[in-house]
Structure 1
């Protein structure tokens, strides 16, 4: 039996992550009626966290998804200010730790794409090789347009090659090769991905539109970023949000007149959004999902071939985030910032995520790419032991005795299946890039992957949600 028809509305938004929530609120402000339908039991998608209950009554908040914002991410900052969410500078006083091969050093600097401060104590030939390659990388970045890159005159050639091809051609030392491979796995707009998986054009475009030099990890949020989705959904009012209700299909009709025997209902609301529980008639839809998840939906009429291929081939990043909580940020007593980088077996990057208002020490550690595949195959105790062993190699043996250890294995999360975002393999941008933002009839696309500025970050999600809502409103007149 067909599910019952719900009350008709102007718009349905599919997906209640940050982008979908922003789009829904923008539609409401424009005076449009809507439904927001989310497959999971909670809102937020990749923007989520939890409050821990520790001995002594302390209740630190940890972000299991994204957590940082930067000074040029203006739409996200406006959203935080509107909801009274305060921010503080990410802790970075002290030295960074680098472990490469059998060597460990500390230095008063940092590198993730761009270098700042003191260089690490690696052989000068290694550092010079990395910096010479970085200069060539930035020269290619500067040639790209501000928007999506597939119209660039050299797009086909850049897209044909993997990032690993470029690394092999451009670097001459193991350290310089690792420098860029680490960059590919660590930065949000890349998925993350291994350099042999991802298009060179995609990496260049990511650095063009979400440059690390603009410090996207400048601020953390008191109470965590994961508090925002509940605040946004609370603004929508009763009856708008549907949770735990996966959308299965989106069906469009294009009637010219009332000849359907339904009193003109189809002409007024020519789109049907189908779930297992109901059918939602509406005038237009925003699909606010990663392309890989949108591939699970059925469309009638069918999507164009390039959009289908985009959904099928734009894979989600393989990344787990691990939050390790201590009585206090003990690494600061050793003159360390809590930021560590290196070619350890599991954790290539960790950072101090401690909120000064609760006093706990919190390290955020990331397991990405091929490392994630190997780590995910371990048992629970093995995964924990592997992460803590790497943190101890970076920061010292005190890392082995946390108060709490929490993992979020994003590839295993239903209806998300990866983090930070989706990435493009070689050739996909030039074959299917036109489909990224192009509406399919009355279906519009949103999500951080769709953004032309700050893709892969909160800012990209906010911008794409606002832009999709504005396009839908314009379409409806």
Structure 2
């Protein structure tokens, strides 16, 4: 049930004998039907660190983005706004610099507005401030057996399995789309999809996601692995080696040997863990960070750079930010480090989707009872009482018997639970960290790297690109390199304007590939910064620092009264991957079906 299918929540009026106020505002705006009022504080052109651009246009653009985030957090959109008030320092009626930004933000919507010229704002650097009042349409209270919070793969799989068992449910989603961190976009508008989120599966040990793809009749393409990959060593030296192999020579004395040593040692320790009881079989590794473990085993800079590349590429984090046990267990959940990192058969990155991974969520949502999915409706309160559970969301409230929460643990703080979550859940959510993973997808008219026998893959100890893969779909005539900039590399890049980020990525591509082949100019570039996404706050999967697994790992999957918790991080197998998301969704549905006494005989 998308909100766009309902009448608008705001009606604008241009009264007779008043001047024409088009295209920016209306003289009168009124709410229609039952609505919830949202008011924002004045938003200024300052980023999350309080930094204020010197350029006035940049300030205004940033203020509008901040206003959009405020509305999104409440489940509102610009079309729900009925009143805008903006305050401008040094206002010049002959140079209305704010107008283009406001028009772009409203995209044709015309709320009532008031412009107030002022001598100064709260901080001398602030030159523009804007506040909004919105009316968000509210649907009547709905009663169902189960409310699922989140329309990613785990939430949708939970809902599908519940409905197949005859359980009534709704899926309440904060975003304006289904899919969570599976999001496929078409930058050229030609049906050539690329994934700004999760992208790969395999068809052997990732049985759950593979079965789902087959069930939904989705086409897959094999990841290219033929050719040489490019390695950028410490100090910036560039060389190639056969994809799937080991670098031939590195700058550090015995660098290759040290790389192999740390890789084989980690794989050995990883395989000794029991994924059902990681603390019982490897608890000593939860007393140290992964960085501390690595530096205890070897002083090699190459070995540490290798471990750092693993954690950046796989979790968007630095080795200092996670428990050694967490990373060992994470890798073991996918069969081991080598299998999880592999693009070959049985590896974590073997197959991709022709229509992108979001096609799974889109098709799965179509199989649900019409009206099941409610978009643009963030859940902010879950209240358990003897009379039932009340779920308060952006576009209406629900009464139910069970709730399944399918959001990352660090986002538990976005929901008020009554009664409050137990200490274990609170501490998991408070301490688990989400990484910085930025995928920059660069599209070309042809796969020029293949002319030199290159597979399109890169691994760099220098950055800003950490790793890169050929994510082309030859049958569709779509040729692209997916470039990952992660961890500290990515955080540094995030401070740059988008154009400068793109330029840095393109320069790195030229540096890496230019030694072997003429690098062509791209036809399109796209990205998504998951750490700035209101409903992701990082990507791909939360990681635990030392001590958290020892104290709370067994509580990760436990219910809180009649509220259950799913999500890829709660999976035992393929944690952090789409297969893990589907597995957790199946687990959540089974728990609820059993609790409701509706298990099939």
Q: Distance in 1 between matches of 2:489 and 2:268?
A: 30
Q: Distance in 2 between matches of 1:120 and 1:236?
A: 53
1:102 paired residue number: 236
| Residues 207-249 of structure 1 deviation map (CA, whole Å, 9 limit, x = unaligned) | 1111342411011121221222111111113221110001011
On the 8 A contact 1:148/1:452 being kept in 2, the answer is no
Segment of structure 1 superposing worse, 84-93 or 450-459: 84-93
| Residues 316-374 of structure 1 deviation map (CA, whole Å, 9 limit, x = unaligned) | 11111110000011100111000011123310100000011122320011111111111
Pick one of 203, 206, 209 that aligns with 2:330. 206
Pick one of 566, 572, 585 that aligns with 1:452. 572
| Residues 404-439 of structure 1 deviation map (CA, whole Å, 9 limit, x = unaligned) | 010111101121111111111111111221221011
On the 8 A contact 2:448/2:520 being kept in 1, the answer is no
Pick one of 456, 470, 475 that aligns with 1:338. 456
| Residues 370-405 of structure 1 deviation map (CA, whole Å, 9 limit, x = unaligned) | 111110001122111111111111222754610001
Q: How does 1:279-358 map to 2 (within 5 A)?
A: 279-358=397-476
Alpha-carbon offset, residue 279 of structure 1: 2.0
Alpha-carbon offset, residue 440 of structure 1: 0.5
Q: Distance in 2 between matches of 1:93 and 1:32?
A: 48
Q: If you compute each CA radius of gyration, which structure gives the higher value, 1 or 2?
A: 2
| Residues 169-209 of structure 1 deviation map (CA, whole Å, 9 limit, x = unaligned) | 1123221211111011112xxx3210011100001101111
Unaligned runs of 5+ in 1: 111-116, 256-265
Structure 1's 276 and 225: CA in aligned 2 closer, same or farther, altered over 3 A? closer
1:113 paired residue number: none
Pick one of 258, 278, 297 that aligns with 1:170. 297
Alpha-carbon offset, residue 5 of structure 1: 5.6
Pick one of 480, 500, 503 that aligns with 1:362. 480
On the 8 A contact 2:227/2:243 being kept in 1, the answer is no
On the 8 A contact 1:13/1:36 being kept in 2, the answer is yes
Q: Distance in 2 between matches of 1:5 and 1:443?
A: 23
Structure 1's 47 and 148: CA in aligned 2 closer, same or farther, altered over 3 A? farther
Structure 1's 354 and 4: CA in aligned 2 closer, same or farther, altered over 3 A? closer
SS in 2 for 1:281: strand
Q: Distance in 2 between matches of 1:4 and 1:15?
A: 18
Q: Distance in 2 between matches of 1:217 and 1:444?
A: 30
TM-score scaled to structure 2, two decimals? 0.72
Q: Distance in 2 between matches of 1:345 and 1:118?
A: 20
Alignment root-mean-square deviation, CA: 1.7
1:131 paired residue number: 260
TM-score scaled to structure 1, two decimals? 0.91
Mapped pair 1:193 → 2:280: no
Segment of structure 1 superposing worse, 398-407 or 162-171: 398-407
Mapped pair 1:462 → 2:582: yes
1:261 paired residue number: none
| Residues 284-313 of structure 1 deviation map (CA, whole Å, 9 limit, x = unaligned) | 010000011122111111111111011111
SS in 1 for 2:390: strand
1:120 paired residue number: 248
| Residues 41-85 of structure 1 deviation map (CA, whole Å, 9 limit, x = unaligned) | 11111001112326xxx4311111111102310000000001111
Alpha-carbon offset, residue 23 of structure 1: 0.6
Mapped pair 1:243 → 2:361: no
Q: Distance in 1 between matches of 2:205 and 2:394?
A: 42
2:187 paired residue number: 52
1:24 paired residue number: 159
Segment of structure 1 superposing worse, 304-313 or 224-233: 224-233
Alpha-carbon offset, residue 118 of structure 1: 4.8
Pick one of 141, 150, 172 that aligns with 1:15. 150
On the 8 A contact 2:188/2:524 being kept in 1, the answer is no
Pick one of 334, 349, 353 that aligns with 1:221. 353
SS in 2 for 1:40: coil
